[in-house]
Amino acid sequence: MTSTQTVKYLRDYAAPAHLVPKTELLFDIISETEVRITATLHIEPQHGATELELHGDAKLHRIALNGETLPESRYTLDKDSETLTLHDMPAEPFVLTVETEVNPAANKSFNGLYASGGNLYTQCEPEGFRRITFHPDRPDVMGVFTTEIRADKAAFPVLLSNGNQIRSGSLHDNPNRHFAVWHDPFAKPTYLFALVAGDLAVRRDTFKTRSGRDVAIAFYTRAEDADKTAFAIESLKNAMKWDEERFGLEYDLDIFMVVAVGDFNMGAMENKGLNIFNTKYVLADERTATDPDFEGVESVIGHEYFHNWTGNRVTCRDWFQLSLKEGLTVFRDQEFSGDRASRAVRRIENVKMLRQHQFAEDAGPMAHPVRPASYVEMNNFYTMTVYEKGAEVVRMYHTFLGEEGFQRGMKLYFERHDGQAVTCDDFRAAMADANGADFDQFALWYSQAGTPVLDVSDSLQSEGSLHTYTLHVKQSLPDTPDMPAADKRPMMMPLAVALLDENGEKIPFALSGSLHTETVLTVNQAEQTYELQLARPVQSVTPSLLRGFSAPVHLHFDYTDAQLAHLLAHDDDPFARWEAGQTLYRRAIAANEAALENGTDLPEHAALAEALRRILNDQSIDPAFKALLLQVPAESELWDGRTRIDPVRTAAAREALHEALAGSLHGELLAAALNAREAENADKRGKQISIYGYNPQDAAQRSLQYTAFALLHRFDDSAIMAQVFEHYDEIARKNMTHEWGILTAVNHNESPRRNELLVRFAAKFDDQALVMDKYFMLIASSRRSDTLAQVQAALTHPRFDIANPNKVRALIGTFARNVPHFHAADGSGYRFVADKIREINAFNPQIAAGLARSFNLMQRVEPQRQALMRQELQALADMPDLSKDVREIVEKILG
Ligand code: ARG
Ligand code: ZN
C-alpha cells in the first residue's frame, strides 16, 4: 500500500508571516446555487515577509492588491494543500481584495457554505472558511470581521452573521432585495465565522448579566419547529447564569443567536455570537424528545455557550491544540450538568461513555495523544480522546488543586491570554503558576497516547498499637501505533482512595501527619508504595480505589467477589460503588464466555443476583443510580486488553447474563418497575396529560422503570409483548420517554407485533425528522434475526435520506454498533457498511470517515473476521477517488 497523503506535524509549527487584523466580507446571494463573495483583507506582513500564503478551495474570480488586479503570474495555487501563494507582496501593510463564487446547493459535505431546505448556513471549523474565500485559514490569525449580506427579500428574509447588526435596509438598485451589515468587535480566527440566510422563524428572550447589561437572545428555526425551542432557551439562560456564578465569566456581545439546522455534520458549533446547531440539540418537547434528549440539549447548549470564553476569547494556536478548548469546555459542560442535577449519575454516564468509546479508540489503530502530534485530515481528530479524555485531563488539575485552586488557574489563564491563540502548555502553566504547583510531569498526558494501567496490591500489618495499611501501585503504559511503551515515561495522576472496614465504615488513617477518611494520592512513578497508619484496629480492609474515577486509567486490584459485593453494598462514593458492580458483571460475562467457548453449562450467578436483589429492594437508593447499577458493561468494554475476539460470542455471553438475572430477579424487577411508575404518577393524579414533562426526578423514575422493563422482556418476552401491544397508545400518549422506553424494551422481540408497533410509530411521526431518526435507530439496533434485511429495506423508506448526517448516523451508524449483526460471521455486516462508506465518500467525506471507524476492532478480532474486514477495507483503500478523510482512517486500521 502506498500512501501519498500529506501529513502535518505539530513540530513544524511556525508563527504566521502575515496578520490580518481586519477583514470585510460581502456576500452577494444570487440564489442557493450562486453566491459571490468579495473579501477585503487588511494585511500586516511580519518581519518583512513578501510571500503571502492564503488557503482556499473556491472558484477564484479576481485578486487585487491595493485595488489593482493581480495577473495570474503573481500567484500559484497548490490544489493538494489548498494553498495559494502570492509572490512579491509589499513588506508594508496592504489591502488584498479577493473575489470568489460558490454553489451552496451543490455542497453536500456540509463544510463551508451550504444549502439546506432552501436556506444557507456555514460550518467553518476547522478549515471550512477556505471553501468560501481565500484567507490565512489558521486559528492563530485573528481579526475583526465586518460582514455585509445581500439577498432577495422573499427567499432570504433573515440575514445573520457574527456580532451585532449595525445596518440593514433595501438595496437601492433593486427594491426586492435587501442587505444587512454585521460587525463583530472581537478579533477571531476564520473558523469562528458564520453566516445564515433564509426563511426562518425566531423566538426571542433576554438575559440580564450580573453587571446589569441586557443581552438579547434569539433562536432561529424552520417555522414548524419554532414551538420546540423553549427548553433550549431556558438552558441557555441557566448556562449564562452558571458561568457567571461558578467561573465569574459574563457574556460579551449585545446578542446571542442560535440557529438550528437539520443538515449538520456534528452536534453544534460555537461561532462567535451565532451558534449553529444540529436540530437534535435544540428542538425538544415531551412529545418528541426523551429525557436523555432533553439532557443532551441542556449540555450542548451549555457547551457551545461556554466556548465563548474557552475557545473564542482564548483560542487555539493551531489545530493540534484542539483539546485546549474542547477538553476544557467538555469539563465545563459536565460540571454545569452536574450542578444542575444528579451529579453522581452524570459522572458515571460520562465514565461509561469514555470507557466504551475513548478506551477503545486508545487501544486501537487510531490511538493518539490528547494533543495529536500529526494528522492528515483535521476533521478526523474531533475525537473522544481530544474531547472526553481531554476533559478528564482538565478534571485531574481540578482534583489536584481543588475548586479554589482551579479557579485561580482559570483567572490567571484569562489574565494572560484573553484575545490570544495559545497552547495546552499555556493552560498548564497558568494552572501551575497560579498555585505554585509543579505540573511538568503532568505534560505527558498531552503527548503519550494509550490508557495507563495501574496494578494495585495491598497488605495489612499490625505491630502492637500500630496498624499499617500499605498500597503498592505499579504503573504501566501500553504500546500505541505512534510510540512503543518502552519510550513512554510514568505519568502523574491523582488516585483517590478510602478504606472500608468489615462493616462498610470508612477507616480513618494518618498520612503525612494528618488524619483522613479519604485522600488523593499522587501517583508519579513506575512503582511506589503508600503507607497509611490506621487510627483503629480492624480485621480487614477493603480499599475503595479510584474514587470518582479520579484518573482515566484501567485499575486492576485483585478483589475477591465478596469484597466487590461489600463495596457494592456500602461504598459511599457512587462511582466506586457502581464500579464494584461493573467488575462483578465483567467476571460473570467472562465466565459465560468461557462456558460458551468450551460448550459447558452456563454458570448461575446466584451471588451476583443476591447482591442485586439487595440493591433492588433498597428504597434509599436514587432510582437513576439504581438503573445504572442494573446496566451491564457494553461489549466494547469487555474487550479491553484482549485479542482474537469473537464479538458474537461476547454478545451472547452478555445476553446470557441478562437472561440469568431476569430469571432470578423477575419479581423484584416487576416491583421496581411498578414502584417507579407509581412514584412518577403520584403527584400527577387529576392533572392533565401534558404533565409528563422533563424534570430530573421523573426522569430518574422513568429510567429505572424501563431498565427493569427491558430486563423483564428477557424473562418472558411474549407476556411483555402482549402487555405492551395492548397498552401501547395509552403509554405512548404520556410522552416520548415512555414511548421509547417500551419500544426499546420489545425491540428485539421476533414476533410480527414488534414490526407492527414500529410501523405505527413511524406513521405517527412521519413529519418529525428527529423522531424518524429514532425509528431508524430502532430498526438498526434490534437483535432480531432479520435486522440487516430491515435496515436494507429502510434505505428506501421515504423519510430516509443518505445525504442527511442524522439519518446516516441513526440507521447505518447504529447498525455498525449492533455487535451481533455488524460482526455477522458471513461478513454481510461488514460488506453493508463498507458499501455505504463508498457511497457517502463521494459527497460527505467527514461522515464517511466517521463510519469507517466502525472497523477499528479489525486487528483484535479472530482471524476469520479479520480477513473479512481486511478485504472490505482494502477494497476501499484501492478506490482512486477515496477522500483523504476516509483514507487516513482506513490506512491506519490496515496498519
Ligand atoms: N467546535 C465544535 C464543538 O465541539 C465542533 C466542531 C466540529 N467540527 C468539525 N468539522 N469536526 O462544539
Ligand atoms: Zn466544543
DSSP state letters, 318-336: SGGGHHHHHHHHHHHHHHH
pTM: 0.98
Residue 819 to residues 291, 604, 659, 709, Cα–Cα distance (Å): 25, 24, 18, 22
Indicate the top mutation candidate among 107, 269, 328, 388 to test ligand 1's pocket, ranked by most ligand atoms within 8 A of CB: 269
Distance of CA 663 to the CA centre of its chain: 36
| Peptide bond before residue 126 is cis, with ω within 30 degrees of 0 | yes
Distance 45 CA to ligand 1 centre (A): 30
In Å, how far are 189, 274, 303, 521 from 128, measured between CA atoms? Answer: 12, 16, 21, 45
Q: Is 125 in the pocket of ligand 1 (CB under 6 A)?
A: yes
**426 CB within 6 A, ligand 1:** no
What is the signed CA dihedral for 288, 290, 296, 298, rounded to 10 degrees? 80
Do the domains 314-446 and 1-199 match in fold? no
Residue 292, classed as helix, strand or coil, is helix
The Å distance, Cα 881 to ligand 1 centre, comes to 25
C-alpha cell at 206: 433576554
266, 307, 333, 380: residue to mutate for ligand 1 pocket, most atoms within 8 A of CB: 266
Which of 240, 233, 381 lies closest to 320, judged by CA?
381
**C-beta 269 within 6 A of ligand 1:** yes
Burial class (CB in 10 A: 0-12, 13-18, 19+), 70: middle
Amino acid 683: pLDDT: 82
Counting ligand 1 atoms within 8 A of each CB, the residue from 125, 307, 385 with the most, and so the one to mutate, is 125
Gap between the Cα atoms of 437 and 559, Å rounded? 35
What is the distance in A from the centroid of ligand 1 to the CA of 558? Answer: 41
CA-based R_g, the chain, Å: 28
The ligand 1 atom nearest the CA atom of 382? 11
Does the C-beta of 382 come closer than 6 Å to ligand 1?
yes
Catalytic-labelled residue, pool 127, 298, 304, 377: 304
Ligand 1 centre to CA of 194 (Å) is 13
In three state form, how does the secondary structure of 502-514 look? CCCCECCEEECCE
- Residue closest via CA to ligand 1's atom 12 equals 269
- Determine if ligand 1 sits within 6 Å of the CB of residue 266: yes
Is 92 designated active site? no
C-alpha count within 13 angstroms, C-beta hemisphere, residue 644: 1
Closest ligand by atom to 191 CA:
1
Comparing CA positions, the residue from 122, 45, 131 lying closest to residue 82 is: 131
CATH of domain 458-598: 2.60.40.1840
Q: Residue 321 half-sphere exposure, CB side, CA atoms within 13 Å?
A: 22
Q: Is the CB of 304 under 6 A from ligand 1?
A: yes
Ligand 1 pocket member 388 (CB < 6 A): no
Q: What is the pLDDT of residue 2?
A: 44
Superfamily of structural domain 314-446: Neutral Protease Domain 2 (1.10.390.10)
User: How far, in Å, is the centroid of ligand 1 from the Cα of 190?
Assistant: 14
Please give the full DSSP string across 375-438, using - where no structure is assigned.
ES-GGGG--HIIIIIHHHHHHHHHHHHHHHHHHHHHHHHHHHHTT-EE-HHHHHHHHHHHHT--
Q: Kindly give the parts of the chain with pLDDT less than 70.
A: 1-4, 688-690
- Most ligand 1 atoms within 8 A of CB, residue of 382, 384, 387, 844 to mutate: 382
Q: Give the residue whose CA is nearest to atom 3 of ligand 1.
A: 269
Quote the ligand 1 centre to 304 CA distance (angstroms): 10
Domain spanning 1-199: which CATH class is it, in words? Answer: mainly beta
Query: Is 201 in contact with 221 (CB distance < 8 Å)?
Result: yes
Atom of ligand 1 nearest to the CA of 378: 11
Residue nearest to atom 1 of ligand 1 (CA): 269
Q: Which atom of ligand 1 is closest in space to residue 303's alpha carbon?
A: 12
Q: Where are the domains of the chain?
A: 1-199, 314-446, 458-598
893: Cα separation from own chain's centroid? 22
Ligand 1 pocket, residue 268 CB under 6 Å:
yes
C-alpha span between 662 and 717 (Å, rounded): 11
Q: How many beta carbons lie within 10 A of that of residue 239, not counting itself? A: 25
Q: What is the distance between the alpha carbons of residues 275 and 271, in angstroms, rounded to a whole number?
A: 5
Which residues are 315's β-sheet partners? Answer: 421
Distance CA 517, CA 513 (A): 13
How close is the Cα of 800 to the center of ligand 1, in Å? 25
Cα–ligand 2 centroid distance for 309 (angstroms): 11
Residue pair 56/1 in contact by the 8 Å Cβ criterion: no
Quick one: cell of 568? 457494592
